[in-house]
C-alpha cells in the first residue's frame, strides 16, 4: 500500500466516523420525539484494484470505508399514554404501518401525500387533525351512518383530510326498528265490549327526531281485535305527539296478523270505519299487505287549530320542520304469552336513526381507525349524539426501508419502496390503534452512547494513522533531501 493510499483510507475512516457521530447525535436529540424512527450507520469497505493486485504487496492500492444510513422501519416505538383523545398510537408489536398525511389541508393531491408514525394529532380551529410536524391526517369520509362515501376505497385518491366538525345539525329520523312481544292473553275488543275483559290495548312510543332537532314521540296503540274468524289479529294506530293533531300521520292504521306460533305473518295498512275506534271494521287498502314486516308512513305539519275530536292542537312540525317520512321495521314483532306483570307490550328493541343538533363534546378513535365524534345538545344536556365522521387506514409498503426520509418521523414514497397499500388497522402486519396515546421514539440512548464510544475510538485510531502517515512522509522527504 502506498503512503497516499494509506492516507486516503485513514481520511475515509475519519469522514465515516464523523458521519456516524452525526447520526448518533441526531438520534439522541430525538430520543423524546414522537414517532421518531432511529437511524443506523452502515459501514462498507471500499476496495480499489483487482483481487490479484491486492494480493501483491507492490501493487496493493489500499482500501477505505464508506457509510450510508438506514432507518429501523420495522421497529415501532412504545405506546405512551396522553390526555389528548385525538392522539393516536399503533401497537408497538407491529412491524409495518404508517399514517397517511398531507402537508396541506387544501392540497389533497395524492402525489404530495407523506407517511408517518407521528400520531400527535390535535384538532385545529377548522376541525382538522394535525400532528406536531404540521401535517394533516388523511382518511375516508363517512356518511351519517358511518359508511365510507368513496367508491374507490383502498386508493390514495379516496382519502381526504380528516375533519371533525365543531357542531352538527339535526338529522331527521328516516328509519326505525321495533321488536316487541304483544301479550296473547290480553282481552280482545269483543271481550271488552261484552264486559269479560277490562282492556284490549297496550301502548308504546316511537321517539323520532324532525329536521329542526325536535323530538316527536309518536304514539303507538296496539289493540287486540282477534275473533274466531280472524284470530291473532291486532290493530296498530299511530298518533302524533301530545299537543299535535292525530290526523297528520298517513297511513296511520295497520292490521298485523300473527301465525299460530306467535311469529309475524302479514301487515297491511288501511282505515277504520270510525276514526279512532279500533272496534270498528278495518278495511285494508288494496295491495298494501306485506310479509316484509316493514311499514312506511309520513308525519306532516298542521296549523294551530282543533283536531277531528275538537281538541286544540299545535303541531311542532308547523314551525318549519320538514315532513317526517319514516320506514318502521316491525319484522321482530311477536304474539306470545305476556312476559310482563302488567300484561303489556314487552319491548326488546326500539331504535331510530337521526340525531339532535349539538356542539362537539368528545372524540374517540377505535382500534380499527373509526373516528367518532359526540355532540351535546345545548337545550338538553342529557341528549348526546355520536356520529362516525371518518375512517383512518394505514399504509403499508413492500419495502418500507426504501422510503425517502423527509425527517426522522416523516417519509415519502420512492421507486424502491413501491406504492402504498391501504389497509385496516390491525391487519396485514399493522397494529390496532389506541387513542389518547402516541408512539415514543425508537431511540435507545444507552445503545447510542455505546455507539458513540465506538465511533470516538475508531475516529481517534484513524487520526493516529494520519499522524503516523505524516511522519513517514517526513522521513521520506528527509531521505530524498539528504
Residue 56 has pLDDT above 60, yes or no: no
**Degrees, nearest 5: CA angle 408-124-360:** 130
DSSP code per residue over 83-96? S-TT-EEE-TT-S-
Q: Which of 168-172, 246-250, 297-301, 451-455 has the lowest mean pLDDT?
A: 246-250
Rounded alpha-carbon distances, angstroms, from residue 422 to 98, 154, 160, 392, 414? 9, 5, 14, 10, 16
Residue 51 has pLDDT above 80, yes or no: no
Q: Which domain holds residue 148?
A: 79-166+393-439
Residue 145 cell numbers, joined:
351512518
- The answer on 273 and 188 residing in a single domain is yes
Residue-wise pLDDT for 342-367, tens only, equals 888 999 999 998 888 888 999 999 99
- The answer on 344 and 314 residing in a single domain is yes
- Say what the pLDDT of residue 315 is: 57
What average pLDDT does the segment 449-458 reach? 83
Q: Is 381 part of a structural domain of the chain?
A: no
Q: Is 366 part of a structural domain of the chain?
A: no
71 contacts: CB under 8 Å, gap ≥ 6:
37, 38, 39, 40, 401, 403, 405, 408, 411
Name residue, grid cell 303541531.
Answer: 315
Residue-wise pLDDT for 399-444, tens only, equals 998 999 898 789 999 999 999 999 999 998 899 999 999 999 988 8
Q: What average pLDDT does the structure give for the chain?
A: 85
Residue-wise pLDDT for 177-200, tens only, equals 999 999 999 999 999 988 999 999
DSSP alpha helix (H) spans, 147-304: 189-194
Instruction: DSSP letter for 343, please.
Output: -
- The answer on 305 and 264 residing in a single domain is yes
- Say what the pLDDT of residue 53 is: 47
User: CB–CB of 40/69 below 8 Å?
Assistant: yes
Q: Is 362 part of a structural domain of the chain?
A: no
- The answer on 281 and 258 residing in a single domain is yes
Structural domain count, the chain: 3
Instruction: DSSP letter for 388, please.
Output: E
From the list 423, 371, 368, 398, the residue with the least C-alpha distance to 155 is 423
Q: Is 380 part of a structural domain of the chain?
A: no
What average pLDDT does the segment 128-150 reach? 88
- The answer on 344 and 197 residing in a single domain is yes
Q: Is 468 part of a structural domain of the chain?
A: yes
- The answer on 193 and 310 residing in a single domain is yes
- Say what the pLDDT of residue 247 is: 62
Percentage of the chain surpassing pLDDT 90? 44
Q: Is 317 part of a structural domain of the chain?
A: yes
| Residue of 306 and 99 predicted with greater confidence | 99
Characterize the bridge pairing of strands 324-329 and 175-183.
Answer: parallel
Rg value, the chain, Cα: 37
- The answer on 239 and 151 residing in a single domain is no
Write the burial class of residue 61 (CB in 10 Å: 0-12 exposed, 13-18 middle, 19+ buried). middle
- Start-to-end CA span in the chain (Å): 24
pTM value is 0.67
Final residue of a domain: which of 439, 454, 473?
439
- The answer on 311 and 278 residing in a single domain is yes
- The answer on 303 and 199 residing in a single domain is yes
Amino acid at each position: 500500500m502506498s503512503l497516499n493510499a494509506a492516507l486516503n483510507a485513514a481520511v475515509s475512516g475519519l469522514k465515516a466516523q464523523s458521519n456516524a457521530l452525526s447520526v448518533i447525535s441526531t438520534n439522541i436529540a430525538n430520543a423524546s420525539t414522537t414517532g421518531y424512527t432511529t437511524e443506523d450507520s452502515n459501514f462498507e469497505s471500499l476496495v480499489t484494484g483487482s483481487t490479484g493486485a491486492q494480493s501483491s504487496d507492490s501493487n496493493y492500492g489500499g482500501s477505505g470505508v464508506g457509510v450510508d444510513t438506514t432507518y429501523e422501519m420495522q421497529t415501532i416505538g412504545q405506546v405512551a399514554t396522553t390526555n389528548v383523545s385525538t392522539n393516536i398510537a399503533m401497537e408497538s408489536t407491529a412491524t409495518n404501518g404508517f399514517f397517511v398525511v398531507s402537508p396541506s389541508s387544501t392540497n389533497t393531491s395524492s402525489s404530495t401525500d407523506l407517511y408517518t408514525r407521528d400520531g400527535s394529532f390535535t384538532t385545529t380551529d377548522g376541525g382538522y387533525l394535525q400532528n406536531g410536524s404540521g401535517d394533516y391526517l388523511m382518511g375516508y369520509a363517512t356518511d351519517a351512518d358511518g359508511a365510507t362515501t368513496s367508491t374507490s376505497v383502498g386508493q390514495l385518491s379516496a382519502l381526504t383530510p380528516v375533519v371533525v366538525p365543531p357542531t352538527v345539525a339535526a338529522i331527521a329520523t328516516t328509519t326505525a326498528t321495533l321488536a316487541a312481544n304483544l301479550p296473547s292473553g290480553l282481552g280482545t275488543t269483543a271481550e271488552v265490549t261484552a264486559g269479560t275483559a277490562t282492556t284490549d290495548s297496550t301502548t308504546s312510543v316511537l321517539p323520532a327526531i324532525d329536521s329542526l332537532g325536535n323530538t316527536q314521540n309518536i304514539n303507538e296503540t296496539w289493540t287486540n281485535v282477534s275473533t274466531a274468524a280472524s284470530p291473532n289479529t291486532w290493530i296498530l294506530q299511530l298518533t302524533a305527539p301530545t299537543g299535535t293533531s292525530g290526523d297528520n300521520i298517513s297511513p296511520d292504521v295497520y292490521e298485523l296478523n300473527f301465525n299460530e306460533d306467535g311469529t309475524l305473518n302479514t301487515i297491511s295498512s288501511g282505515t277504520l270505519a270510525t276514526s279512532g275506534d279500533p272496534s270498528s271494521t278495518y278495511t285494508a287498502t288494496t295491495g298494501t299487505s306485506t310479509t316484509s314486516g316493514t311499514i312506511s308512513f309520513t308525519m306532516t305539519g298542521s296549523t294551530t287549530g282543533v283536531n277531528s275530536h275538537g281538541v286544540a292542537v299545535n303541531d311542532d312540525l308547523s314551525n318549519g320542520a320538514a315532513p317526517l317520512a319514516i320506514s318502521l321495521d316491525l319484522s321482530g314483532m311477536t304474539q306470545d304469552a305476556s312476559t310482563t306483570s302488567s300484561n303489556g307490550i314487552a319491548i326488546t328493541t326500539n331504535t331510530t336513526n337521526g340525531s339532535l343538533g349539538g356542539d362537539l363534546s368528545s372524540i374517540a378513535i377505535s382500534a380499527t381507525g373509526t373516528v367518532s365524534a359526540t355532540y351535546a345538545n345545548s337545550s338538553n344536556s342529557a341528549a348526546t349524539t355520536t356520529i362516525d365522521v371518518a375512517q383512518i387506514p394505514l399504509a403499508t409498503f413492500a419495502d418500507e426501508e426504501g422510503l425517502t426520509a423527509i425527517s426522522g418521523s416523516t417519509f415519502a414514497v420512492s421507486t424502491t419502496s413501491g406504492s402504498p397499500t391501504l389497509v385496516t388497522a390491525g391487519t396485514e402486519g399493522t397494529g390496532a390503534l389506541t387513542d389518547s396515546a402516541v408512539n415514543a421514539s425508537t431511540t435507545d440512548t444507552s445503545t447510542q452512547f455505546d455507539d458513540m464510544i465506538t465511533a470516538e475510538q475508531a475516529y481517534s485510531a484513524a487520526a493516529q494513522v494520519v499522524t503516523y502517515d505524516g511522519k513517514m512522509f517526513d522521513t521520506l522527504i528527509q531521505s530524498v533531501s539528504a
